[in-house]
Structure 1
Amino acid sequence: MSFDGTFLHAMTAELTEQFVGGRISKIQQPYALEIVVTVRNQRKKLPLLLSANANLARAQVTEIPYANPQTAPNFVMTLRKYLENASIESIEQVQNDRILIINLSSRNELGDQEDLQLITEMMGRHSNIFLVEKSTNKILELIKHVSPDQNRYRLLMPGAQYVQPELASGFDPFAAEITADDWDRVWLQLHDLKNKSRQVWQQFYQGLGTDTALELIDQTRGAANSQELGQLVGTFWQRFDHIDATIGVQNKKLQFAAIPYETFTEQQSGFTSLSAMLDRFFGQKAETDRKHQMASSLLQRLNTVIKRNEKKLKKLNKTMASAQNADDNRIKGEILTTYLSQVPEHATKVTLANYYDDNQPITINLSPALTPAKNAQKYFTRYQKDKNAKIYVKTQLEETQAELDYLTGVLAQIEVGEPKDIEDIRVELIQQGVLRQDNKKKKRKVKINPAEQFYASDGTSILVGKNNLQNDQLTLKKARKTDLWLHTKNIPGSHVIVESADPSDETIIEAAKLAAYFSKARQSSQVPVDYVNVKAIHKPNGAKPGFVIFTGQKTTYVTPDERLVEQLRNNQPAATK
């Protein structure tokens, strides 16, 4: 998996065709290190994603939905100030390295023309996005500020001069003229360093990822001399004139390329564009990575509270086990009281007849400092204490277990949810007192994201809540009494509503598979799913969000199927079929 210079060369050509001549209509920053620039061009609006995420740095058109934060970050506010309605003049790559420059023309507040550059450096953990004033080369803003202590080669702060990072060495495969002497040199290196051929190609050519270097090794394996080597390599680079986005497996790793690589197995091609292929390739990984970035502090707090409740539960169970001796203490106190005259003074123990057990002998420990009567009273005091403890601890056990079930359920919702669902979960945990409200932020009216809509094979609408607030809104407010409600049996997961009073058996099974997929049992098989009409659902007073009770349910067993989920997500409603 490498968005290397070779792939960026092909992507630059694709983006140039789509965006040059267009105007920016909207700029958003849905995630900390990613922006989405919507451009109007050729009667279309296309969302251009620029990412400085260390693991997912790239530039592409994306159709993956995203959620915007309630407060716009400083970087996107600066972009909006300078780039509102700016036109895209050109898009270029710096040689064959992983730097993309979008040249823009805009108007300032006085109406004067400004030439600006939006520069994306896609270099792993050093990735960044800059807004630069072209005439002065001054950085107006950048998505990731870096202090001088962290980078002494160049200052990465607003107001500093933009200094291009040190470029990778080697020839640009799409522009450089390579002499016969150069081919002789690389030919000798390849034969002298047979086990390091990949490094030889990565030093000879600029911006090559491991996957492309391995493909070059394969493509040139039959070369008989340096001249033939040059011809084979030239033919390989010419193939990039006809892009065919491809996903495949190379050395047991999933990879992508702008053209089919012969070193790829299990290839998949035929995508409409490089961007469409990247959406397919990065889709789930990007969503998971973004989700964990957004939820990092939330997950940390959740895990802390869960561990605290688990520790509390362990102590309560220990106390309950100790309190189970309450009746034994009562019996010993009563036997001592009955046979007080037979209990010697200052004894450490005494054996008496237990009339509760056919007069079998029972040995009772005593405190020699106490009289027999006070020893009996001590057992009665222990009995009362244990009796009260059993009542209190039982209540505490139930409340702690319910809290633990709730928190682990929320944790499961984060795992199966999407980035746009995280804010709903954050609001819910603030309402429940698990997270603290940030008093510095203005309190806004909470707007819960709607449940996700799917369509069964017959076009019936199926709604899926992705968190407890959505679940409550879906089941208790949106659903009709005659709709069908589904939920995994005794497993944290989503509320699922089939918007039909009489769904087919096939639709019920498809809805059940959605319920299983969006639950903690996503990776399991034969998952039990309860289903019942919404009119049978009730929420107890004071219950946690998402908690409901019901009777008269039926249960079916299904295995989650990711391909079915995507199919139902892309189906059309019954009315338009």
Structure 2
Amino acid sequence: MSYDGIYAHTIVEELNNTILGGRISKIYQPFQHEIVLTMRANRKNQKILLSAHPSYARIQATEEQLSNPDKAPNFCMFLRKNIEGATIEGIEQLGNDRIVTFKIRKFDDLGDLKHVSLIVEMMGRHSNIFLVDNETNKILDCLKHVPAYQNSYRTIMPGAVYVLPPHQDRLNPFEATPAEMDAIQATFEDGLTAKNIQSAFQGIGRDTAKEIASLSEPTLAHGINQFLNQVATGHPTLFTDETGKETFAPYTFETMVGEAKTFASPSLLLDAYYIDKATKDRIKQVASDLLGIIKNELHKNELKLEKLENTLVKSEEADAYRIKGELLTAYLYQVPKAATEVTLNNFYADEEPTVIPLDPSLSASQNAQKYFTRYHKLVKSVKFVHEQIEKTKTENEYLESIETQINLSDPQDLEDIRDELKDAGYLKAKKSNKKQKKTISKPHHFKSSDGTDIRVGKNNKQNDELTLKKARNNHYWLHAKDIPGSHVIVESSEPSIETLEEAAILAAYYSKFQHSANVPVDFVPVKYVKKPNGAKPGFVIYTDQQTLYVTPTKEQVDALRV
């Protein structure tokens, strides 16, 4: 199911039980459409994610580690000034719609008590987050500004009166009486279908409507009552079908198929469901320019390789030019003046007649010299072309490794990759007089089942640092075979087979073949790993390797993470 009004209801209930009365201790905006509130409630800190993303709009408690940018966007700064340190005194859902209001109590600069509302509208591409003054009902600020000429129904700008989105006159399943439901059922011409139920109630998704329809015998009122009881007592469930597609529900729906996994809370389920989807989208937001540069460079290199290969094909004609030059030299007396071509017997091919084109403005010896010049030029070019082909293929391997690292990285770790592309000349460095404090990213840290430390590089610079500087000669090095991926170091001179297999799973997971089966992974002591002079970051050569075949899964990787 989608994040519909029913699931929003379960989230609101969860937050009322966990953060009501809590204090907003920290606010930050890790990405364009997302705000994170760190709450101090019930003697512990909890993070609340408010997302106005066009595809993944939601509110939830989250355990995901989202970075706090060095420079906060304007809306985040405004929230910090106005509600940081304030208290949440209520969390309400508008009917069964995907509109949730956080009632906030705060003191202004003069010490006067003020009440404001943080309103989250989760409506696809129209999703937004507002801070509204309760006394005047005016928008203090909002995440997305929409002027009147773009929206004739309401103005979404600071200072405008806050107006609710257009409301459809449908029943709230949590408040509808049996009589109201009987009346609406009487209007269903083709019976209790999922489509009719979805059109009759607020905030009901397609999957929810199917589940209610399956319970609605003999009446709609009975089905809604059964459904709401299950929502109140059941456990949030994540379904995975045989194709790998995931869906979720507030309890284990009978109408959903696939492997079912239950969670202790609605928010924990959302963390599991959105972790990969949202991360990929965030990377596209943050790294779209990097991926575009790499795509363009790879395309240019493909065209370059095509031209080089054509040059090699032409170089195969070199011997033909040499033979023509030698025939002209041997039979100078048989070549008429100002001729455009001549036929001579080829003593390299059993005196077979060979037609040789000529430049009529040149003498026979000059034409022969012209063929020899072409021959020598092509022979000399072969070595150069082979060098260029090898250089271009090496550059492609490097660019593909960067592309893999971007797709596998956390958004907060992309700055290191950006710096690497600047150093390599693919990205122009912006001139700035301000010295910015850089956060140094560290490699991934894992522990094997027997407690052995395993480190995994996040980018090429980290790979070099990890393998060539930090690892000891008797530690073990692993890498997915012949494909872009991270360097993995097992910090042991005599690792167990189990530890090597777990490290191989990490090497396969952090490679281009993350979602493949039977991925080959080479392992070898670090002393057999060398970096050629002048090689690109992350590029090494190695000998004496052995190979393991593994199938990586996220669950295995998470179990090893420190």
TM-score past 0.5 threshold: yes
Please point out which of 419, 423, 429 is paired with 2:415.
423
Asked if the contact 1:211–1:250 (Cα under 8 Å) also holds between the matched residues in 2, the reply is no
2:57 aligned partner = 57
Question: How do 1:399-410 and structure 2 match up within 5 A?
Answer: 399-410=391-402
1:111 aligned partner = 111
Q: 1:392-434 CA deviation, whole Å, 9 max, x = no partner?
A: 3333222222222211222222233332333322222222222
Q: 1:539-570 CA deviation, whole Å, 9 max, x = no partner?
A: 2333222112223322333333333223223x
Deviates more, 1:447-456 or 1:232-241: 232-241
Q: 1:399 to 1:444 in 2, by over 3 A?
A: farther
Q: Which amino acid aligns with 1:293?
A: Q
1:85 correspondence with 2:85: yes
Distance 1:141 1:543 in 2: 51
Shift of 1:514: 1.5
Shift of 1:147: 3.5
Shift of 1:491: 0.9
1:457 correspondence with 2:449: yes
1:530 aligned partner = 522
Asked if the contact 1:246–1:267 (Cα under 8 Å) also holds between the matched residues in 2, the reply is no
Distance 2:157 2:27 in 1: 21
Asked if the contact 2:237–2:248 (Cα under 8 Å) also holds between the matched residues in 1, the reply is yes
1:475 aligned partner = 467
Shift of 1:305: 1.8
Q: Which amino acid aligns with 2:7?
A: F
Question: How do 1:199-210 and structure 2 match up within 5 A?
Answer: 199-210=195-206
Shift of 1:366: 1.7
Asked if the contact 2:194–2:213 (Cα under 8 Å) also holds between the matched residues in 1, the reply is yes
Asked if the contact 2:215–2:222 (Cα under 8 Å) also holds between the matched residues in 1, the reply is no
Question: How do 1:93-108 and structure 2 match up within 5 A?
Answer: 93-108=93-108
Please point out which of 168, 187, 190 is paired with 1:193.
190
Deviates more, 1:116-125 or 1:516-525: 516-525
Asked if the contact 1:115–1:133 (Cα under 8 Å) also holds between the matched residues in 2, the reply is yes
Shift of 1:197: 2.4
Q: Which amino acid aligns with 2:190?
A: L
2:502 aligned partner = 510
1:22 correspondence with 2:22: yes
Q: 1:136 to 1:462 in 2, by over 3 A?
A: same
Question: How do 1:275-424 and structure 2 match up within 5 A?
Answer: 275-354=267-346, 362-424=354-416
Asked if the contact 1:97–1:167 (Cα under 8 Å) also holds between the matched residues in 2, the reply is no
Distance 2:94 2:372 in 1: 87
Aligned-partner SS, 1:334: helix
Distance 1:345 1:119 in 2: 94
Asked if the contact 1:335–1:354 (Cα under 8 Å) also holds between the matched residues in 2, the reply is yes
Distance 2:301 2:495 in 1: 42
Aligned-partner SS, 1:211: helix
Give the number of aligned pairs. Answer: 561
Deviates more, 1:52-61 or 1:254-263: 254-263
Q: 1:207-238 CA deviation, whole Å, 9 max, x = no partner?
A: 11111111111110x21xxxx44244234323
Distance 2:522 2:339 in 1: 63
1:3 correspondence with 2:9: no
Asked if the contact 1:244–1:269 (Cα under 8 Å) also holds between the matched residues in 2, the reply is no
Deviates more, 1:479-488 or 1:548-557: 548-557
Distance 1:168 1:502 in 2: 68
Distance 1:267 1:534 in 2: 42
Asked if the contact 2:93–2:100 (Cα under 8 Å) also holds between the matched residues in 1, the reply is yes
Q: Which amino acid aligns with 1:28?
A: Y
Asked if the contact 2:239–2:247 (Cα under 8 Å) also holds between the matched residues in 1, the reply is yes
Shift of 1:480: 2.4
Q: 1:123 to 1:461 in 2, by over 3 A?
A: same
Asked if the contact 2:64–2:271 (Cα under 8 Å) also holds between the matched residues in 1, the reply is yes
Distance 2:70 2:346 in 1: 72
Q: 1:480 to 1:80 in 2, by over 3 A?
A: farther
Distance 1:171 1:525 in 2: 49
Aligned-partner SS, 2:165: coil
Deviates more, 1:206-215 or 1:549-558: 549-558
Shift of 1:20: 1.2
Asked if the contact 1:168–1:207 (Cα under 8 Å) also holds between the matched residues in 2, the reply is no
1:215 aligned partner = 211
Distance 2:151 2:194 in 1: 29
2:174 aligned partner = 174
Asked if the contact 1:250–1:264 (Cα under 8 Å) also holds between the matched residues in 2, the reply is no
Please point out which of 232, 237, 247 is paired with 1:241.
232
Shift of 1:251: 12
Deviates more, 1:555-564 or 1:100-109: 555-564
1:12 aligned partner = 12
Question: How do 1:24-173 and structure 2 match up within 5 A?
Answer: 24-173=24-173
Q: 1:370 to 1:206 in 2, by over 3 A?
A: same
2:428 aligned partner = 436
Distance 1:198 1:441 in 2: 62
Distance 1:531 1:305 in 2: 31
Asked if the contact 1:107–1:114 (Cα under 8 Å) also holds between the matched residues in 2, the reply is yes
Asked if the contact 2:238–2:262 (Cα under 8 Å) also holds between the matched residues in 1, the reply is no
Distance 2:65 2:484 in 1: 25
Asked if the contact 2:478–2:523 (Cα under 8 Å) also holds between the matched residues in 1, the reply is yes
Deviates more, 1:365-374 or 1:392-401: 392-401
Query: Considering only aligned residues, what root-mean-square deviation do their CA atoms show, in Å?
Result: 2.5
Asked if the contact 2:178–2:221 (Cα under 8 Å) also holds between the matched residues in 1, the reply is no
Q: 1:243 to 1:76 in 2, by over 3 A?
A: farther
1:490 correspondence with 2:482: yes
Q: 1:448-472 CA deviation, whole Å, 9 max, x = no partner?
A: 4211112222121111123212222
Deviates more, 1:369-378 or 1:246-255: 246-255
Shift of 1:92: 0.9
Distance 2:113 2:480 in 1: 60
Deviates more, 1:242-251 or 1:9-18: 242-251
1:551 aligned partner = 543
Distance 2:325 2:261 in 1: 83
TM-score for both structures, normalised by structure 2: 0.93
Distance 2:523 2:361 in 1: 66
Q: Which amino acid aligns with 2:49?
A: L
Q: 1:116 to 1:291 in 2, by over 3 A?
A: same
TM-score for both structures, normalised by structure 1: 0.91
Distance 1:82 1:155 in 2: 22
Asked if the contact 1:249–1:266 (Cα under 8 Å) also holds between the matched residues in 2, the reply is yes
Q: Which amino acid aligns with 2:316?
A: Q
Q: Which amino acid aligns with 1:53?
A: H
Q: Which amino acid aligns with 2:186?
A: L
Distance 2:10 2:518 in 1: 45
Q: Which amino acid aligns with 1:219?
A: L
Q: 1:260-300 CA deviation, whole Å, 9 max, x = no partner?
A: 32212346354221111111222222222222222222222
Deviates more, 1:354-363 or 1:158-167: 354-363
Shift of 1:248: 3.0
Aligned-partner SS, 1:497: strand
Shift of 1:487: 0.9
Identity %: 48
Asked if the contact 1:26–1:39 (Cα under 8 Å) also holds between the matched residues in 2, the reply is yes
Q: 1:149 to 1:422 in 2, by over 3 A?
A: farther
Shift of 1:81: 1.3
Q: Which amino acid aligns with 1:236?
A: F
Distance 1:123 1:261 in 2: 24
Distance 1:521 1:235 in 2: 45
